[in-house]
Structure 1
Amino acid sequence: MRIEWTREAAAALQAKFDPPVRVWKLVSDNEGCGCAVNGVPFLWAVDAPAEGDLRADSEPVEVWYEPRHAVYFDDALRVSYDGANRSFKLSSDGQIYTNALGTVDLRTSASTHSR
């Protein structure tokens, strides 16, 4: 999986959390969705990738994913940022996954959470 970041998206993601996030995990979260195949894309801030996670080709943001979640995403993704709405957009050449990509801080080491 390859993830391209606009300069604005990478900067906005860096600025959103304090302390800064080093490792992100892209997931298709179906918790509470009512259907196991209709997940919602999220970026989770994590302390470290889990055993078995794969690293996406993603610079300047380090992103990991579970192999079982790869089926929900195209091989080449883009993350952009809409400053007016303060939202991240996840898309590919074939589709828009979301105009409001959620970010959640799941780090146990974080002293503060999303601003």
Structure 2
Amino acid sequence: MQIEWTTEAQNKLAEKMRGRSGFLKLKYDTEGCGCVVSGVTALWLESDLTTGEEVVITNAGPLYIEKSKTIFLDDRMKISYIEDSNCFRLASPSQIINPRLNFFDYTS
């Protein structure tokens, strides 16, 4: 799997990470979605790694993904930052996976 961050997304990520430490994860969140195929991707910052997560080396540093959830993602993806909506966007060459990819800090 290949994940590339745009320059704008890298800058916004650096701003959000300033003063924080932990493991950045691309989570496929199914909480409240009804079933596993109705999940939503999000960026989570967590203090610990969880069993079953694998690392993807990106141009903005390591990003951890649950191995069992990679079937919902594409082989090549890009994370950009959309200033007008103040959020990240996760897309692949064939689709927009999440037009409003939120960042959550769960380290506190």
Structure 2 length as normaliser, TM-score? Answer: 0.89
- The structure carrying a bigger helix percent of its residues is 2
Contact 1:22 1:62 in 2 (8 A): no
8 Å CA contact retained: 1:9, 1:80: yes
Q: Indicate the residue corresponding to 2:2 in structure 1.
A: 2
| Shift of residue 22, structure 1, vs aligned partner | 4.7
Contact kept, 8 Å, 2:43 with 2:104, in 1: the verdict is yes
Q: Distance in 2 between matches of 1:63 and 1:49?
A: 11
What count of residue pairs does the alignment treat as equivalent? 108
Unaligned runs of 5+ in 2: none
Residue of structure 2 in register with 1:16 after alignment: 16
Q: For 1:85 and 1:102, locate their aligned partners in 2 and report how far apart those are by CA, in whole Å.
A: 11
| One-letter amino acid of the counterpart of residue 47, structure 2 | D
How far 1:84 moved relative to its partner?
2.1
Secondary structure of the structure 1 residue equivalent to 2:38: coil
Moved over 4 A (4+): none
Cross-structure match for 1:29: 29
Structure 1 Cα separation of the partners of residues 42 and 85 of structure 2: 17
In 1: Cα distance, 2:61 partner to 2:22 partner: 8
Q: Counterpart in 2 of 1:112?
A: none
Deviation at 1:23, TM superposition (A): 2.1
Is the Cα contact below 8 Å between 2:89 and 2:101 reproduced in 1? yes
